[in-house]
Amino acid sequence: MTVIDANRMHEIETRYPEYFHRSFRQRFGGLMILMATLLYGLYAVWFFDLPKLFAEAHWERVGIYLSQWVSYDVQPELRIQDDGSIEVRYPRFSPLGDNPHPDWLVNNPDGSISVSINGTSRSVSVSKSETIVTAHGVSVPVELSSGAPKVVGPVPGWMTVYDDNVLADLGFAGNVSISVDRVKIRKRFIGWANFIFDTQSSFFDKPVGEVVSLIVSGPRIKPDQSNLSLAFDDIWNNSEWQHGDVWTKLFQTIVMAFLGTLLGALTAFPLAFMAARNITPNRLLNQILKRFFDFLRSVDMLIWALFLTRAFGPGPLAGSGAIFLTETGTLGKLYSEGLENIDNKPREGIKSTGAETVLVHRYGIMPQIVPVIVSQTLYQWESNVRGATIIGAVGAGGIGLKLWEAMRTNANWENVAYMVILILIVVFLFDSASNALRHRLMGTKTH
């Protein structure tokens, strides 16, 4: 055990004062940052009134929307006529077509109708005087003879009684709304209905083998058009999913991002040389251009899109213009900062040989700045593919506008899912291509 005397201790303190005489900030800085973070968190909870916000949020809608992303429903309505017969009606644009005869709806010999909502575990039997709902292992009769439907026996938790109807919630499988003169059924199916052929197509509701046979060697459905061409037209012009319009709008979004980024890069490149202090020794010009870049960047791309749609009308031109203005400011700032951080020795060496200014820039500056230009431009291009989707929602065209229209109906969430998946795929592909191109041009290896 080594004992340190007072003189030795004083010598150590003198040699390493930063460890023995630490400032207040060094001693309590971490604790103060932690306390400030906690206080800011409490302030944010109070300012946004998060407890009330979470309490009043419609969390049940999350499950409804997600279920509609991956499924569709069919809504037959069973109307009880005055003579006791039951008429089955479907919505005008039913996924089953104009004359559906599903095997899960059965007309019984006694005049009643049985509907299987999820096999035998969840079903409905409707007669002129009574509806029986079977779910969760029990069958609950509902009388229809009086002025309002009446549940016979105890009311289960999954059934709600209102003044003029009874609602049975059967979970993901669907629900049943029972009134005195009609029973509305919502039956849910996994998948996307009529994604390939809509109800107006000649190939609608045909098995896959029959469709392939018709396309390959079957007789022509339309004498003046081959079955292959007819099938493509039916898919491209699908009235429910609108594949042709969706893919056209997606291509518009990609073109908007590419054109806006390209024009922004071409404009920012020469301006960056004039904005860099070490390239152009004119302080007034440097400051004017840098403030110009700040102005273009400070106005969000969405705001530029709103301005341009008022000027040029809705369409891809406004979207490309918004990206162009934003990217001119962003890339101009990035390029000029990259130029100001180059090593001046290669530049001075080439200048000392008496080379012209263009050659000095070409051989003394460009080899150093090209990696920055390539990396930042490709990243902005990739980012603008996502940004073009957002500005499309305000009228700048592209798939963003199509996505917003589908969301506003609050009923076409499967179409929303379709477009979101397409956008994710495009972003993933552009991200991969951008990374590969960036590494190839910069001479680095991908892992």
CB of 116 closer than 8 Å to CB of 158: no
Q: Which part of the chain has CATH 1.10.3720.10?
A: 243-442
Q: For residue range 303-336, what is the model confidence (pLDDT) as tens digits?
A: 998 888 888 888 888 889 999 999 999 999 999 9
Q: What is the pLDDT of residues 63-105, one digit of tens each?
A: 778 888 889 999 999 998 888 889 999 988 888 888 788 889 9
Using CA atoms, how far apart are residues 424 and 217, in angstroms rounded to an integer? 37
Calpha distance 363→33 (Å, rounded): 48
- 447: pLDDT strictly greater than 60: no
CATH superfamily of the domain spanning 243-442: MetI-like (1.10.3720.10)
How many angstroms separate the CA atoms of 156 and 162, rounded? 14
Residue 446 has pLDDT above 60, yes or no: no
pLDDT in tens, 204-226: 888 899 999 998 888 888 888 89
pLDDT digits over 393-441, tens only?
A: 877 778 888 888 888 877 778 899 999 999 999 888 888 888 887 777 6
Give the pLDDT confidence of 359-370 residue by residue, as tens digits. Answer: 877 778 788 888
Which residue pairs from 230-235 have beta carbons closer than 8 angstroms and sit at least 24 positions apart in sequence? 230/202, 231/197, 231/203, 234/197, 234/198, 234/201, 234/202, 234/203, 235/196, 235/197
pLDDT of residue 356: 79
Kindly indicate the confidence band of residue 126, based on its pLDDT and cuts at 50, 70 and 90.
Answer: very high
Ranges 8-12, 133-137, 263-267, 345-349, most confident: 263-267
C-alpha to C-alpha distance for 32 and 282, rounded to whole angstroms: 44
Question: Where residue 22 falls among pLDDT bands split at 50, 70, 90?
Answer: low
Instruction: Give the phi and the psi of residue 132 in degrees, each rounded to 5.
Output: -115, 120
Length of the chain counted residue by residue: 447
Calculate mean pLDDT across residues 116-136: 89
**Res 218: pLDDT:** 84
For residue 227, what are the contacts with CB-CB under 8 A and spacing of at least 6? 214, 215, 218, 220, 221
What confidence score (pLDDT) does residue 444 get? Answer: 61
What per-residue confidence (pLDDT) applies to 436? Answer: 81
Sequence-ordered list of residues with C-beta below 8 angstroms from that of 258, at least 6 positions apart, any chain: 381
The token pair that represents 348 in the structure block: 């001075």
The amino acid at 32: M
- Quote the CA–CA distance of 194 and 235 in Å, as a whole number: 10
Rounded to 5°, angle at Cα 236 from 65 and 388: 60
What pTM was estimated for this model as a whole? 0.79
Percent of the chain topping pLDDT 90: 34
Looking from the CA of 424 toward its CB, the CA atoms found within 13 Å total 6
Q: Are the beta carbons of 273 and 366 closer than 8 angstroms?
A: no
Query: Which pLDDT band holds residue 110 (cuts at 50, 70, 90)?
Result: confident
